Amino acid sequence: MRSHDIVVKLIEIWHDLIVARKSRLVEALTIAEDILLFFDDYFKSTSWVQSNCGLPQKSLNRSSLYLVEKNILDKNLDIKQKPRTIYKEIVKSWDGSWRIVIYDVPEKNRILRNKLHRVLNELGFKNLQRSVLLSPFASSWIVKKVEKLVEDPEKIFTFKTKISKKKSNYLVDSLWLLDDWELAARRLIKKLKDKDKVSIQDQREFWNLVSKHPKVPLDLLPRTWPLKKLAKVFVRYSS
């Protein structure tokens, strides 16, 4: 069950709640949901959770109970209100739609311009030209998040358009540096296979690689894309 893994990601937050008496649960849930959506099929067993979070079952149960009491998880440990995330867009069947964003923020508003560009990059947009960015995700919530940053609607324009699969593949190959991620993933797969046990450093490398996964639909990635194999190997050698 994916929710068990989300609970693991929340263990650190649980201790923050005890020590600092403040909640970062919404942020934690979003991060956990983002990363773990890829791995529904691989991170299911409670034994894997126990062995890899470094806490006994009693502590896990206490954390789970807290989240249920706070109405964040239901009694089956599933998130009641799942946040909208980029990774949900990645696993959706792609409909061929792209979003194009054009903005015109003057030099005197450099702070806003830099923030806008940073948020666009976090959402998976890439520069086609200067101040012209595009993404294969067409969801309206993504556009609304960008538009909220700019008070003047005349400073930013968003378009939704269809692009052929052939041209879409060309854009993804040209702008998203797929080769770098694929090479790093295959290296880590080989590294994990050569070991009896996954080290802390290996785990950090794995999660860092996942967080940097190209923000494009899986439908636009090669059929031999190593993401699922990487997850399987990681779980197998972490158990």
pLDDT tens-digit series, residues 82-109: 667 777 788 888 989 999 988 877 777 7
Angstrom CA distances, 108 to 57, 66, 104, 188, 236, stand at 55, 48, 12, 45, 53
Distance CA 223, CA 195 (A): 27
Contact 91, 218 (CB under 8 A): yes
Residue 162's H or E segment, with its range, is: strand 156-162
Sign of the dihedral through C-alpha 11, 61, 54, 19: positive
Residue 140, pLDDT > 80, answer yes
The most confident of 5-19, 144-158, 193-207, by mean pLDDT: 193-207
Beta-bridge mates of residue 79:
73
Interstrand relation of 126-129 and 97-103 (parallel, antiparallel or unpaired): unpaired
Instruction: Please tell me the predicted confidence (pLDDT) of residue 10.
Output: 53
Residue 201: band (very low, low, confident or very high) from pLDDT cuts 50, 70, 90: confident
- Long-range contact pairs involving 181-186 (C-beta distance under 8 Å, separation at least 24): 181/209, 181/212, 181/213, 181/214, 182/222, 182/225, 182/226, 184/209, 185/209, 185/226, 185/227, 185/230, 186/226
Distance CA 220, CA 139 (A): 17
Contact 11, 64 (CB under 8 A): no
The tens digit of pLDDT for each residue in 39-49 reads 655 665 555 55
Instruction: Please tell me the predicted confidence (pLDDT) of residue 183.
Output: 96
Distance CA 211, CA 122 (A): 11
Instruction: Please tell me the predicted confidence (pLDDT) of residue 197.
Output: 79
Instruction: Please tell me the predicted confidence (pLDDT) of residue 171.
Output: 94
Burial 142-179 (b: 16+ CB within 10 A, else e): bbeebbebbeeeebbebeeeebeeeebbebbeebbebe
Distance CA 63, CA 106 (A): 48
The most confident of 27-31, 76-80, 154-158, 214-218, by mean pLDDT: 214-218
Contact 236, 156 (CB under 8 A): no
Mean pLDDT of 159-166: 91
Please state which of the ranges 3-12, 68-77, 78-87 shows the lowest mean pLDDT: 3-12
What rounded mean pLDDT belongs to the chain?
Answer: 76
Please state which of the ranges 71-75, 99-103, 191-195, 227-231 shows the lowest mean pLDDT: 71-75
Return the number of other C-beta atoms located less than 10 Å from residue 126's C-beta.
19
